[in-house]
C-alpha cells in the first residue's frame, strides 16, 4: 500500500481510478490503479501487488517516503457506488486481492457520511473477497472493524489454497464458486441488488456467468477487470 500527496486538489468518486507513473530509463511507465482512500482524505491511497517481472510495480514498490511519483490530473472510471435504482438497495461486492480497493473507498466514504448524518444506512453492502492465502488479504482488519460497528456492512473472506495456510479457519474456495451460497445467505437477488466484480479477470468472467444464471442483468452488474487476460 502506498499513499500519495497529489500536491493539489484531486477530485474523484469512490470506485474510480488514478493513473500513476514513474520515470525509468528515460521512459514514462504508467498504469491505472483503483483508489482505496475516500475523497474525504487528503492523500490518495493505492493497494497493489508486486509483479516481479512487471514494468510498473517494481519501481513503485521501491519508492521511499518523500519520493516523487507521476499522477495524471483526472480520475476516471465508472465503477462507482450506484444508488440510482431505488428498488435495489443491496450491493453485492465481489473481489480478489487488490480488487478490494474500490470497495474500501466505498466503505470509508459511507462510514464517514453515516457518522455525520449524510447517509441513513438505507443501503446494505455485502463483501465477498478472496485470496490464495490469508496473508494476501488487504484491509481485512479495517473492514471487519467497520462491519462490527455498522448495521449496513457485512464481510466474508475466503482462501482458495487452505492447504498452504494451516492457521486459516475461515471460509475456503474461490470467490466465483461461492457466489450462489453468499447471495442466497445474504438475500441478494436480481430484484433488490446490484453486483460489483473487481479483480482477477477469470473471477470477473466466471462471476458474471454465475450471476447471470441467477437472474442478474446488464443493468445491475458492474465490473472492473484489473488486466487483460492473455489470448489463448
Same domain, 43 and 97: no
Same domain, 103 and 55: no
Residue 154 lies in a domain: yes
Same domain, 157 and 54: no
The pLDDT profile of the chain, 232 residues, written as one tens digit per residue, is 999 999 999 999 999 999 999 888 788 889 999 999 999 999 999 999 888 888 888 888 888 999 999 999 999 999 999 999 999 999 999 999 999 999 999 999 999 999 999 999 999 999 999 999 999 999 999 999 999 999 999 999 999 999 999 999 999 999 999 999 999 999 999 999 999 999 999 999 999 999 999 999 999 999 998 766 554 4
Range of the domain at 176: 90-225
CATH number at residue 170: 3.40.50.80
Residue 47 lies in a domain: yes
Residue 81 lies in a domain: no
What phi and psi values does residue 193 have, to the nearest 5 degrees?
Answer: -130, 155
Same domain, 57 and 154: no
Residue 82 lies in a domain: no
Query: In the listed set 71, 99, 125, which residue is the last one of a domain according to the structure?
Result: 71
Yes or no: say if 186 and 211 are a contact pair by the CB < 8 Å rule. Answer: no
CATH number at residue 8: 2.40.30.10
Q: What percent of the chain has pLDDT over 70?
A: 97
Same domain, 52 and 162: no
Same domain, 175 and 221: yes
Same domain, 103 and 169: yes
Instruction: Determine the Cα–Cα distance for residues 24 and 176; give it in Å rounded to an integer.
Output: 38
Number of domains observed in the structure of the chain? 2
Long-range contact list for 226-232, CB < 8 A, 24+ apart?
226/98, 226/99, 226/198, 226/199, 226/200, 226/201, 227/201, 228/201, 229/201, 229/202
Stated pTM of the model? 0.95
Residue 232 lies in a domain: no
Same domain, 61 and 104: no
SS3 178: helix
- Summarize pLDDT for 13-36 with one digit per residue, the tens: 999 999 999 888 788 889 999 999
- Summarize pLDDT for 32-66 with one digit per residue, the tens: 999 999 999 999 999 998 888 888 888 888 889 99
Residue 165 lies in a domain: yes
> Which DSSP letter does residue 224 get?
E
Residue 85 lies in a domain: no
Residue 142 lies in a domain: yes
Same domain, 119 and 182: yes
Amino acid at each position: 500500500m502506498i499513499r500519495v500527496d497529489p500536491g493539489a486538489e484531486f477530485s474523484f468518486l469512490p470506485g474510480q481510478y488514478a493513473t500513476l507513473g514513474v520515470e525509468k530509463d528515460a521512459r514514462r511507465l504508467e498504469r491505472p490503479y483503483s483508489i482505496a482512500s475516500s475523497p474525504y482524505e487528503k492523500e490518495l491511497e493505492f493497494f497493489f501487488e508486486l509483479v516481479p517481472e512487471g514494468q510498473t510495480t517494481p519501481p513503485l514498490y521501491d519508492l521511499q517516503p518523500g519520493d516523487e511519483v507521476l499522477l495524471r490530473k483526472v480520475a476516471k472510471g465508472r465503477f462507482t457506488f450506484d444508488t440510482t435504482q431505488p428498488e435495489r438497495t443491496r450491493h453485492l461486492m465481489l473481489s480478489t486481492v487488490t480488487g478490494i480497493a474500490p470497495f474500501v473507498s466505498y466503505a470509508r466514504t459511507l462510514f464517514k457520511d453515516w457518522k455525520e448524518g449524510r447517509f441513513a444506512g438505507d443501503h446494505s453492502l455485502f463483501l465477498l473477497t478472496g485470496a490464495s492465502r490469508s496473508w494476501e488479504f488487504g484491509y481485512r482488519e479495517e473492514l471487519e472493524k467497520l462491519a462490527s460497528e455498522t448495521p449496513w456492512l457485512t464481510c466474508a473472506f475466503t482462501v482458495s489454497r487452505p492447504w498452504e495456510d494451516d492457521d486459516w479457519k475461515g471460509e475456503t474456495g474461490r470467490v466465483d464458486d461461492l457466489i450462489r451460497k453468499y447471495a442466497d445467505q445474504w438475500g441478494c437477488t436480481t430484484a433488490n441488488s446490484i453486483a460489483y466484480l473487481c479483480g482477477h479477470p477469470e473471477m470477473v468472467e466466471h462471476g458474471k456467468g454465475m450471476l447471470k444464471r441467477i437472474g442478474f442483468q446488464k443493468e445491475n452488474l458492474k465490473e472492473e477487470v484489473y488486466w487483460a487476460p492473455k489470448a489463448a
